[in-house]
Structure 1
Amino acid sequence: MHDPNGPDWADQTILSEFMSADELTELGTGDIAYIKPIKAVDLKEMFPDVPPLHDNVTLYALQNADGTPILLADSREAAVANAFEAELEMASLH
C-alpha cells in the first residue's frame, strides 16, 4: 500500500519494479547494523551456544541489517565499539 506521506521511492510497489524481494532483503547487509538489548532468557534462540545465565541479565546484541546476530556484548558501549571497528553504519531502532 502506498503511503501518501512517504517519499515515492519508499513505496514497495515502485521498488519492486527495480529490485527483487531478495535484493531488498539484502539491502544494507554487511554495511548497516543495529544494537538490540536482549534478556538472557531470550538468548538461546539467537545464540544457541550461549552458556546459562541469570534470566534477568540484559545483554546487547549487535545485529546485521537483516537481523543476523554478529556478536553479543555485556554493554552497549562494547557493541558500539565493535560496530565502529568493523566500519558498520549504525541504524536506530524505534
Structure 2
Amino acid sequence: MTFESKIQISKDELAHLGAGQVGYIRKMTSDEVQEQFPGVPKMESGIDLWALFNADGTPLFLSDDPSTAYVKAAEDEISPVSVH
C-alpha cells in the first residue's frame, strides 16, 4: 500500500513553523556570539554561553548556564528540541 501526500508550504510558512512554541538551545562561545550578533555588548573572549533561539533562528536569550536557558524556555512556554 502506497500513500502519497502532497502538502505545499511556502518558504515563509516554513520559516515561521513552530515560532513562539518551539525553539532550540545551543552552546556557543562569546566569540561566536560577538561575530553573529553584533548588537550584543562587548564581552570577554572564550566564554562558553548557552543561547535560546526561536524556531526561526531568532535569538531570544543568552546565559552562561545551560539550565538557566532551559528555565527561560519553560517560562516562555517554548519546547526546546535537540539540534545536532
Normalised by the length of structure 1, the TM-score is: 0.75
Q: CA-to-partner distance for each residue in 1:6-60, whole Å, 9 max, x for gaps?
A: xx66xxxx33xx3212111110111101101111111124433333222210111
1:54 maps to amino acid: E
In structure 2, the residue matched to 1:27 is 17
- Determine helix, strand or coil for the equivalent of 2:51: strand
Match of 2:76 in 1: 86
Higher relative contact order (CA 8 A, sep 6+): 2
Give 1:63's aligned residue: 53
Alpha-carbon shift at residue 74 of structure 1 (Å): 1.2
User: Structure 2: 5+ residue runs without aligned partners?
Assistant: none
Pick the structure with more helix per residue.
1
Shift of the alpha carbon at 1:90?
1.1
How many residue pairs were aligned? Answer: 81
Instruction: Give the ranges of 4+ consecutive aligned residues of structure 1 lying more than 2 Å apart after TM superposition.
Output: 44-54
**Residues 54 and 62 from structure 1, CA distance in 2 versus in 1: closer, same or farther, beyond 3 angstroms?**
same
Q: Which amino acid aligns with 1:69?
A: P
